[in-house]
Chain A
Amino acid sequence: MGLTAALKKKTNFFSIDVELTCPEGETLALIGPSGSGKTTIIRMLAGLETPDEGRIVYRDRVFFDSARGVNLSPQKRKLGYVFQDYSLFPHLTLYGNAAFAAQDRKEVDSLLGFFGLKALRDRKPNEVSGGERQRCAVCQALARNPQLLLLDEPFSALDVVTRRLLRNELKKITETRTFPVVYVTHDVTEALFIGNTVLPIVAGSVDREWMERIVAPGNEPGTRARAARATKLALAY
């Protein structure tokens, strides 16, 4: 069960061609350098972009099937999606944002409590810090009681300390849920911390060697920089 997807899509620079699975209650981390196609992949899972070819199945529901002409809208996929930044509604307070699509007000209160946002509930997004905004974005996604949670580099615009705090909080809360979580990041440590499985994506395809090069013991951080350069070169060719 869980989520399975086979996706193909031509982009301007390369072709995305990946297969992925994520069982219930587990977190799949998609890792790779910037511009490797991770975001396009997670956007295809959400229905914000359409694959050229492939299939996305979650439990017994077909989200997308090019062969059968099925393509559920993002609205019908019933998922939680956390964007990198600036996706909160600026005209609403943090509470208004978290409760935007919620069915249960109590759940909203308890989520705001868990993320330490209760005192800030009446502030607007531009009156709080980046970390508080992203905490609220996670609340918003979870409060609608999603069947699947997708996060696209949710903490990458934050400073290192806040990032670490938030990923601890996120891990704590997703461990209590039974749905699959797909988490996109370019940070190897983060991917290894959050993910039960880690899928390295380079230029649109799975590249396990890239991952091995990067995390080889004793090679940090020199290897990491070299690997990043190498993938950039590979992208350029």
Chain B
Amino acid sequence: MELLPLYLSAKLAFIATLILIGIAAPLAYLLTNSSWPGKSFVEALVNLPIALPPTVIGFYLLFLLGPKGFVGEGWERLFGGPLLFTFTGIVIASIIYSLPFAIQPIKASFEKIDPRLKENAYVLGLSPAATFFRVIIPNSINGIAAAAILVFLHTMGAFGVVLMVGGSIPGETRVASIAIYEAVESMQYQKAWGLSLAFIPISYSFLLLVNKLTRK
């Protein structure tokens, strides 16, 4: 069995998940607690990837991250390299693609926290930011861990977005889902079987862990 695509998928999912949790936790908190102008617009925007076909997201990202796109051009000027068809490019694409899948469960676990805890932190003198780190995060750590696992699995399985933005460069952007597709296309069924079977124990054991974390 060829292990490189699996390793690449896991690496992509791991890095995207780490960055996503860092972005999604404060964003979910802003969407849970306060009311501010434009909140519902922002909420709908971060949830948009759920409603759009992955190829559509990929198509837009292709232009956005491309050498003439707003992000791609800026990136090239800053770091001297392109984003399209690179590992960094598919990390960025995966983050955008999986953002709602991180926000939703984290937001749900924040909503479960008794509002009195936040009020108590405030009357005890804690700033909203300190309250987030000292009270909200420790009391929703299971929900955040569950979100991280779901996002990891979701990114492991990403296909359309990654294919559009990254293509299929071995060792760089040919992740497991793409390798499976290509194996089937070229009728290398044994290779497709090997990679596909590897997904079952990984996904199943992670989902068991999610159940354990969210059961209360």
Contact = CB atoms under 8 A, between A and B. Distances in A.
Nearest to B140: A91
Contact of B122 (A75, A91, A140): A75
B116 A73 contact: no
Interface in B113-164: 114, 116-117, 119-127, 135, 138-139
A89 interface: yes
A90 B139 contact: yes
Given A89-B139, A90-B139, A91-B139, A74 B116 contact: no
B124 A100 contact: yes
A78 interface: yes
Nearest to B124: A101
B125 A86 contact: no
B122 A86 contact: no
Contacts of B120: 81, 83, 87-89
B116 A101 contact: no
Contacts of B121: 89
Given A89-B135, A89-B139, A101 B117 contact: no
Interface in A63-87: 73-75, 77-81, 83, 86-87
Given A89-B139, A91-B138, A48 B122 contact: yes
Contacts of A83: 116, 119-120
Contacts of A87: 114, 116-117, 119-120
Interface string A123-144: 0000000000000000010001
A74 B138 contact: no
A89 B123 contact: no
A140 B114 contact: no
A89 B122 contact: no
Contacts of A47: 122-123
Interface of A: 46-48, 73-75, 77-81, 83, 86-91, 100-101, 140, 144
Interface of B: 114, 116-117, 119-127, 135, 138-139
28 contacts: A47-B122, A48-B119, A48-B123, A74-B122, A75-B122, A75-B126, A77-B123, A78-B125, A80-B123, A81-B119, A86-B114, A86-B116, A87-B114, A87-B117, A87-B119, A88-B120, A89-B117, A89-B120, A89-B135, A89-B138, A89-B139, A90-B139, A91-B139, A101-B124, A101-B125, A101-B126, A140-B124, A144-B125
